[in-house]
Amino acid sequence: METSRKVIRISRHAGVLVQATRAVPEEVPIAFSYGGSTHAVMMGTPADLEDFAIGFSLTEGIIRDVSEIVDIEILAADQGYDVQVMLGDNQADALRARRRHMAGPVGCGLCGIESIEQALRPVPDVSAATLKATFDDIVSAISLLSDGQSLNRETRAVHGAGFYLPGEGLLAVREDVGRHNGLDKLVGAVLRAGRRGRDGMIAVTSRVSVEMVQKTAILGSPILLAISAPTALAIETAEKAGVTLVALVRSEDFEIFTHAHRIVEIAAGADIAS
């Protein structure tokens, strides 16, 4: 979602000042409420909120499967949105036992974490996933992700996340001012489409911090692609979780940080110069 604002556009080369308008993304508070009580408040782009609710619920460990959500209702409130998520009895009881309130700024992927242990939580091991990707798959996934970012084309201010299936193409793209939000929205979109994380690759337009690896592994996807670089902890986490981490994907150049055996050309014994 976007709006427009007046700007004064300056071109020193042309020597002119021009009054114009600029498309900018919306940024509003988005509350996630379970059983009528607010659990988290995130700043984000108010689009694809059902996907966001499902993805957030899964990656935060509130649910283990989309079937555990009974209903989702989106209410406009206080210059933002309150996303009311109704859980099954077992999940609602478990959440009440660990209830906490979180509030975070744009892009906060560890909001409300109460200890170092929670921040460094173990994630699922996807080492057994059999997905393979070619060099062309990697280049294509990032290219199609860029093409699919309609909001970013208008605003140049949002991150994107896409789910790419080798042999099929890009299943979904989701965008948000927060990179973690965009990935949570994508997780929700994949689940709603009835697809399995292990069948496809995640592609993102942001740097790779540890939370991005954690969310990818929780979905079950064994390959994470990014246009920017990873942190040291992201690399360590991807190694432990069995995630193939490919970053700095620019045109036809990229770097493979972990579990290169899933890349077909590497598995086939491609020559690697020292």
Please give the mean pLDDT across all residues of the chain: 92
H or E stretch including 255?
A: strand 253-256
Residue 112 pLDDT greater than 90, yes or no: no
Q: What is the 3-state secondary structure (H, E, C) of 93-148?
A: HHHHHCCCCEECCCCCCCCCCCCHHHHCCCCCCCCCCCCCECHHHHHHHHHHHHHC
The rounded distance, in Å, linking the Cα atoms of 137 and 141 is 6
* pLDDT tens per residue, range 203-234: 999 999 999 999 999 999 999 999 999 999 99
Pick the closest to residue 136 from 170, 166, 171, 172 (CA basis).
166
* pLDDT tens per residue, range 96-105: 887 654 444 4
Locate 202 and state its tokens. 């995640």
Over residues 146-166, mean pLDDT: 97
Residue 32 pLDDT greater than 70, yes or no: yes
Cβ density class 71-86: b for 16+ within 10 Å, e for less: ebebeeeeebbbbbbe
Rounded to 5°, angle at Cα 151 from 31 and 17? 115
Residue-level pLDDT at 188: 98
- One-letter identity of residue 107: G
Residue-level pLDDT at 166: 96
Tracing tokens 């992927």 back to the chain, one arrives at 109
Over residues 177-182, mean pLDDT: 97
Residue 171 pLDDT greater than 50, yes or no: yes
- Prediction pTM value: 0.92
Percent of the chain with pLDDT over 70: 92
Residue 25 pLDDT greater than 90, yes or no: yes
Residue-level pLDDT at 78: 78
Rounded to 5°, angle at Cα 205 from 212 and 139? 110
Domains and CATH numbers, the chain: 30-119 (3.10.20.10), 135-267 (3.40.140.10)
Residue-level pLDDT at 52: 98
45-54, 118-127, 161-170, 189-198: range with lowest mean pLDDT: 118-127
Alpha-carbon separation of residue 81 from 18, 36, 89, 151 (angstroms): 36, 14, 25, 20
Residue 253 pLDDT greater than 80, yes or no: yes
* pLDDT tens per residue, range 65-97: 999 999 999 999 879 999 999 999 999 999 988
Residue 1 pLDDT greater than 90, yes or no: no
Q: How many CA atoms lie within 13 A of 52 on its CB side?
A: 29
Residue-level pLDDT at 117: 60
Which residues are the active-site residues?
Answer: 108
User: In 10 A of CB 253, how many CB atoms?
Assistant: 8
